[in-house]
Chain A
Amino acid sequence: MKNLPNLLPSTRREFLRFSAKGIGLLAFTHYAPSFLVSSARAQIPAPGRDQPILVLVQLAGGNDGLNTVIPYADDHYHRLRPTLGIKEANVLKLDEHAGFNPACAGLHRLAQDGKLAILQNVGYPNPDRSHFRSTDIWETGSASDQYLTTGFIGRYFDNSCAGAPANADPLGVHLTAEVPETFFAEKDHATFGLSDRGGRRQRQQNLALLEKILHRPAGDDENANAGYLRHTMMDALVTEQKVQRVIADYRAGAEYPHTPFAQELRNVASLIAGGFSTRVYFVSLGSFDTHVNQFDRQNKLLQTLGDGLAAFQKDLAAHRLEENVLAMTFSEFGRRPMENDGKGTDHGTSAPLFIMGSRVKGGLHGAAPNLNLARNQDLTYGIDFRQVYATVIDRWLQGNSTAVLGQKYAPLDFIA
């Protein structure tokens, strides 16, 4: 075997330099127009570090909004929630009507610091109570009777980020096993999955072997498609290496809880601080599908959520990155106002949504839900989630919400 470096080149530039020296990979240059194009572009600076970044936080399974932001002054709440209801004395108050579940200390602190906007009663017309279909609706930004094959973030990429240099960092990074539907786009954009829950060591071993397989001189008889595949995979692995290195070298400016969710946010922070030009990160926390014995389960999840987000925000502040980042939660639906016989709640409709960042207008936005409801009746939304998207796209990501969402939605006032 020839004397090859053991590891992949750690940057695109190094990769090119290796190649220029004729080591290893470049036996396939005969096919490589896209590669040469991107090397010509390597001189173009990556999109600036100061571009706004969005972190999407999915609360998978349908978070019960009424036991997250508690309308403690509303008698109907206590009527509908005889066992699950939270007593006024325990509520972390936001104003004289509403306050947080005591498990949301992290979120409450963020709100007190003016870094958390609480959008009340967010939903959409003719809500769908299927987990999968409603998740589709939220991720694509469609109407409830409309089926879209692209996500609202994907369309934002199509619309505002096309033509990014081919050697730039991925536009979207997801910390989930599957590519989130919201990243699906018409055009090709680099996205990257960073999922290391479980099997990490094995994955590392396999990666090392894959690298060896990739990183060898191409035979003279290697066909053009084989070269193309090798190059594309190499490219993906170079990104993976860079990501792993940035994460390993990161010194966080805050103590993160030892939950997988918080560790994922730590990884997001490390990539942001590492200067990745990625515009959107996608993190998921679940499962909020609390049909029985909701109380402890949801409390634990809410605490994980609040403590994780609080640590993330503190970390960003320590790295002076607060101004660049906005985080937004969403869940496919809220849950039914009336608790069920199993001390749980069934699939419902609207719920509060949180926007976190140093540039938000903190506190409650929109009207509290009307709880004067009959048995098993559902909430009617006050804010359409596409209004929230439109505001984030136009006022934060500097995109064009009409193009992304297909129509104009009345903006909201939660960004300072």
Chain B
Amino acid sequence: MKLDYSPEQAWQPLPAAAWDAAAARHLLRRAGWSASPDEVTRVLRDGLAPTLDRLFPRQPAAMPVPKSVADFRSEAADYRRKIRQAPREQRRDLKRDFQQQARDALGDLTLVWMQFSLHPDRAAYEKWVSFLGNVYVVSANKVRDPAMLYEHQALLRAGGTGPAPKLTKGVLRSPAMIQYLDLQQNRLGAPNENFGRELMELFTLGVGHYTENDVKQGSRAFTGYRQRDGAFEFAPRQHDGSAKTFLGHTGHFDGDQAIDVIYQQPAAGTRLPALMARFYLSDEPLPDPHLAALGDWWRATGFDLHQLCLRWFSSRLFFDPQFRGIAIKSPQQYYLGLLQDLGLDLAPLPRRVLPALRQMGQPLYTPPNVRGWVGGREWINSATLDARRALVGVLFTPLNENRLNADEQRALARARAAGVTGFSFTDDRFKKLLPLTDAEVTTALCDFLLPVHVAPDYRAAITQFLAQGDAARRLARIRNAAITLLGSPEYQLC
């Protein structure tokens, strides 16, 4: 990677002269899910700084708790007690019902989150919440409690605008994290180092910035942090309050103090920005001096996440043309971006939404391991590409309501009553393109949907396709051109 400006210049605001439609599209696609023409017009009118204030609010909206998750939360303790007390034979059935309820609620959580984050005003912040969730990773494969997963995400959402050390201290108390990284088993005299290690390796410092001894010593500080029935508890008698020497400091550290020690390390300033670079910018790492410059500034803010977002997304470096149109969309972004580009609502049908995410490789709340989803080219193979094309096909096909079961019919009726109705794309939405010439339709489709400037022969192929056959079928040809374009390699980029 070659950058034409110094580490100090890199993080200066984009010069006003460089703020144009192409820059606006880059911002909208990278910070959020897509760049619809209306949104582009809006941010150009508003300007960059006010737009970022809107996209990254100091006090982001809370996501409502899905009803099934709330039900699960209120019934979980009862259920667990019943299972403990039931005779062996019955226990299995109870457990199975309980697990099924958990899975259904997890599906709802996915749908509700997608619906919530689809709104253009919330897209960027919810993508940020996703990013934080891919740093402070927990997985439904181990944490089979959707209420804990909801709470964990809510913690990241509420804490994602404050100081990073405070957020990390919150994560230490997150029941989902306590379960996921075995803090429950981290006891006085018998430390479990899972949390302590991942905290330093993945969440805050990165490999090479701590020793095995730091893991051993540090893990003692995190003893006694546990959860019961989804609520945090500190067990003082399980906590190791004796002196530890950790990252060059000695003291009777508890968990919070240990986290403060971690944030005194220089690497704490660059770890999160490095992860942001991978998530938001490029598969290739940023040069160390550029990262260090941002890290030094960020430390001086007290590791303020809100300021970090504002600075990041207004910087010269972020808008560097070499980063535009080169990132591979995650399945989550592909799905939500498609819906936004097509002006569709998310169908409230788990059987339609969840398998598509899974087949594209990203069942939400279920990252493969504590490192999270690696992203980039890892998303792409012939099967996942096929799944992406299949999703496009599904969104262009009317719902077959005869094949829905009673639950689905009800969910659909509820959504419709709430005014959420556009679940698949109908040809008449293309009608406004009919008066245009074939070349103009091509331009409209390419410029609206594609993040990269495509070569003349790409456009020529589409124009030729539109010109074939009789006029009566032109609408269908426009649709088919759009379907093809949405499945093409160029649309996978952003």
Q: Which residues of A contact B (CB under 8 A)?
A: 1, 126, 128, 130, 132-133, 144-145, 147, 149, 170, 177-179, 188, 190-193, 202, 205-206, 209-210, 212-214, 216-217, 219, 223-226, 228-230, 232-233, 235-236, 239
B483 at the interface (CB under 8 A from A): yes
B382, A190: Cβ atoms under 8 Å? yes
Q: Which residues of A contact B465 (CB under 8 A)?
A: 205, 209, 212
B447-492 residues at the A interface, CB under 8 angstroms: 452, 455, 457-458, 460-462, 465, 476, 480-481, 483-485, 487-490, 492
A235, B382: Cβ atoms under 8 Å? yes
Known: A179-B359, A190-B382. A213 touches B488 (CB 8 A): yes
Q: Which residues of A contact B452 (CB under 8 A)?
A: 223, 226
B382, A1: Cβ atoms under 8 Å? no
Q: Which residues of B contact A219 (CB under 8 A)?
A: 455
B355 at the interface (CB under 8 A from A): yes
Among the 9-residue stretches B20-28, B91-99, B307-315, the one with 4 or more Cβ atoms under 8 Å from chain A is B91-99
Question: How far is the CB of A141 from the nearest CB of chain B, in Å?
Answer: 17
Q: Which residues of A contact B410 (CB under 8 A)?
A: none
In the assembled complex, the Cα of A144 lies from the Cα of B93 at a distance in Å of 10
B377, A228: Cβ atoms under 8 Å? yes
Contact of A210 among B93, B103, B488 (CB under 8 A): B488
User: Which residue on B lies nearest to A214, using beta carbons?
Assistant: B489
User: How many residue pairs between the two chains, A and B, have CB atoms under 8 Å in the bound complex?
Assistant: 113
Closest 9 CB pairs of A and B: A229-B489, A236-B382, A212-B461, A223-B326, A230-B489, A209-B484, A206-B484, A209-B465, A216-B457
Known: A210-B488, A216-B455, A225-B377. A232 touches B493 (CB 8 A): no
Known: A226-B490, A229-B380. A145 touches B99 (CB 8 A): yes
A225, B283: Cβ atoms under 8 Å? yes
Q: Which residues of B contact A225 (CB under 8 A)?
A: 283, 326-328, 376-377, 493
Question: How far is the CB of B232 from the nearest CB of chain A, in Å?
Answer: 26
Chain B contact patch, size range: 35 or more
B314-372 residues at the A interface, CB under 8 angstroms: 325-328, 351, 355, 359, 366
In the assembled complex, the Cα of A128 lies from the Cα of B96 at a distance in Å of 9
Question: How far is the CB of B334 from the nearest CB of chain A, in Å?
Answer: 12
In the assembled complex, the Cα of A179 lies from the Cα of B381 at a distance in Å of 14
Known: A177-B390, A225-B328, A226-B452. A213 touches B92 (CB 8 A): no
Question: How far is the CB of A184 from the nearest CB of chain B, in Å?
Answer: 8
Q: Which residues of B contact A (CB under 8 A)?
A: 92-93, 95-96, 99-100, 103, 141, 283, 325-328, 351, 355, 359, 366, 376-377, 380-383, 385-387, 390, 452, 455, 457-458, 460-462, 465, 476, 480-481, 483-485, 487-490, 492-493
In the assembled complex, the Cα of A235 lies from the Cα of B327 at a distance in Å of 21
Q: A147-B99, A225-B328 are in contact. List 17 more A-B contacts (CB 8 A).
A: A126-B92, A126-B96, A133-B100, A144-B92, A145-B92, A149-B366, A206-B483, A209-B465, A209-B480, A213-B485, A216-B461, A223-B452, A223-B493, A225-B377, A226-B490, A228-B377, A229-B380
A-B contact pairs, 10 of them (CB 8 A): A144-B92, A179-B383, A188-B381, A190-B381, A209-B481, A209-B484, A213-B462, A226-B325, A226-B490, A232-B382
Question: How far is the CB of B140 from the nearest CB of chain A, in Å?
Answer: 10
B385, A233: Cβ atoms under 8 Å? yes
B99, A130: Cβ atoms under 8 Å? no
Known: A209-B461, A216-B457. A226 touches B493 (CB 8 A): yes
A236, B325: Cβ atoms under 8 Å? no
Question: How far is the CB of B464 from the nearest CB of chain A, in Å?
Answer: 8
Q: Which residues of B contact A228 (CB under 8 A)?
A: 377, 380
In the assembled complex, the Cα of A230 lies from the Cα of B493 at a distance in Å of 11
User: Which residue on A lies nearest to B487, using beta carbons?
Assistant: A210
A236, B480: Cβ atoms under 8 Å? no
User: Which residue on A lies nearest to B480, using beta carbons?
Assistant: A206
Question: How far is the CB of B360 from the nearest CB of chain A, in Å?
Answer: 10
In the assembled complex, the Cα of A147 lies from the Cα of B95 at a distance in Å of 12
Known: A206-B484, A213-B458. A229 touches B381 (CB 8 A): no
Contact of A232 among B381, B457, B488 (CB under 8 A): B381
Question: How far is the CB of B107 from the nearest CB of chain A, in Å?
Answer: 11
In the assembled complex, the Cα of A145 lies from the Cα of B103 at a distance in Å of 12
B382, A239: Cβ atoms under 8 Å? yes
B458, A216: Cβ atoms under 8 Å? yes
In the assembled complex, the Cα of A179 lies from the Cα of B382 at a distance in Å of 12
Q: Which residues of B contact A224 (CB under 8 A)?
A: 326
Known: A209-B465, A223-B325, A225-B326. A232 touches B380 (CB 8 A): yes
In the assembled complex, the Cα of A379 lies from the Cα of B484 at a distance in Å of 50
Question: How far is the CB of A90 from the nearest CB of chain B, in Å?
Answer: 33
Question: How far is the CB of A286 from the nearest CB of chain B, in Å?
Answer: 11
Q: Which residues of B contact A205 (CB under 8 A)?
A: 465, 480
In the assembled complex, the Cα of A210 lies from the Cα of B476 at a distance in Å of 16
B383, A190: Cβ atoms under 8 Å? yes
Question: How far is the CB of B88 from the nearest CB of chain A, in Å?
Answer: 12
Question: How far is the CB of B284 from the nearest CB of chain A, in Å?
Answer: 9
Q: Which residues of B contact A206 (CB under 8 A)?
A: 480, 483-484, 487
In the assembled complex, the Cα of A224 lies from the Cα of B282 at a distance in Å of 11
A210, B484: Cβ atoms under 8 Å? yes
Q: Which residues of B contact A209 (CB under 8 A)?
A: 461-462, 465, 480-481, 484
Highest count of chain B CB atoms <10 Å: which of A170, A202, A212, A224: A212
In the assembled complex, the Cα of A337 lies from the Cα of B95 at a distance in Å of 27
Q: Which residues of A contact B93 (CB under 8 A)?
A: 126
Q: Which residues of A contact B366 (CB under 8 A)?
A: 149
